[in-house]
Amino acid sequence: MTRFTANLSILFTELPLLQRPAAARAAGLEACEFWWPFPTPTPSDSEVDAFASAVTDAGLQLTGLNFAAGDMPGGDRGLLSSPSESAAFRDNIDIALGIADRLGCKALNALYGNRVDGVDPNAQDALGAENLALAAAAAAKQDAVVLVEAVNSIENPRYPLTSSTDVIAVLDRVGSANLKFLADFYHLARMGENFDEVLSVHFDRIGHVQIADVPGRGEPGSGTFDFAALFDDLDVRGYSGLVGLEYKPTVASADSLGWMEKHRQ
């Protein structure tokens, strides 16, 4: 049976961020993940304390955390391959890992970053590999993995990793054992990839799975994706990890969870 973790940067947005863990727990969820939950890559101690308390007081397990990724609403999709943002990413590594360690979180997502006008893509890729290696080495010290995902070019035209093959090439370039593929099947499906083919070819490289229905990124049942078949395939292949709910509810967040009961363990 499939186990779920809710991304509370995109679910329960009816509430302020620090109120979402309690609301998620009241709705029956036991685990959560977040995009970077602070306005800057270097939050104050009080901001970190408030975030950690919101998660632990709610009785949720934090299972995933993004490294700082810039101004996401403004179109940023990561810092690590941008020469002007590289230092901010490196400064964020220990901060993000410190929060993860405090909350028992063992997976951190590193968004690769958009292409930058006037910068050689090869230079960006070299910098990206260098920074991913640094993040992976730091994460390994606390038995954590660093995740890299493909993002669809329909909504993110400047993001260079748009397929499972793109991500695997980056993982191979870096070569760190704890650098894993985040298989976000919303983005992969938007790019025309078939989940069975992705799992057949890359299953051993997958460190986490995320879902949303297509094409609208709503909850399962709001679109055309065959989630029952995906979950069955994951079970048959022995996937023991969580499935992240990274969708935009088409109804109230708590009401959007009804589909989940027949699949949860």
Q: Could you state, in order of their start, the residue ranges of all structural domains in the chain?
A: 4-260
Alpha carbons 107 and 200: distance in angstroms, whole number: 23
At 246 the pLDDT is 98
Which single residue is written with the structure tokens 């990724």? 69
**CATH superfamily name and code, 4-260:** Divalent-metal-dependent TIM barrel enzymes (3.20.20.150)
At 2 the pLDDT is 66
- Contacts of residues 96-101 at CB distance under 8 Å and 24 or more positions apart, as own/partner, are 96/36, 96/65, 96/66, 96/67, 96/68, 97/138, 97/139, 97/142, 97/144, 98/48, 99/48, 99/51, 99/52, 99/65, 100/62, 100/65, 100/142, 100/144, 101/142, 101/144
At 264 the pLDDT is 59
Report yes or no on whether pTM surpasses 0.85. Answer: yes
Q: Which of 33, 85, 193, 246 is catalytic?
A: 246
7 neighbors 246 (Cβ within 8 angstroms) = yes
At 3 the pLDDT is 92
At 109 the pLDDT is 98
| List of E strands, the chain | 4-7, 31-34, 61-66, 107-109, 145-149, 179-184, 206-211, 243-245
DSSP element (H, E) containing 86: helix 86-102
Identify whether 246 is a catalytic site residue.
yes
Q: Which of 33, 149, 193, 219 is catalytic?
A: 149
Please tell me whether residue 57 adopts helix, strand or coil conformation: helix
User: What string of DSSP letters covers 32-45?
Assistant: EEES--SSSSS--H
Give the ranges where 16-80 is alpha helix by DSSP (H). Answer: 20-26, 45-58
Alpha carbons 110 and 166: distance in angstroms, whole number: 15
**pLDDT averaged over consecutive 10-residue blocks of the chain (265 residues)?**
89 98 97 98 98 98 98 96 98 98 98 98 98 98 98 98 98 98 98 97 98 98 97 96 98 96 68
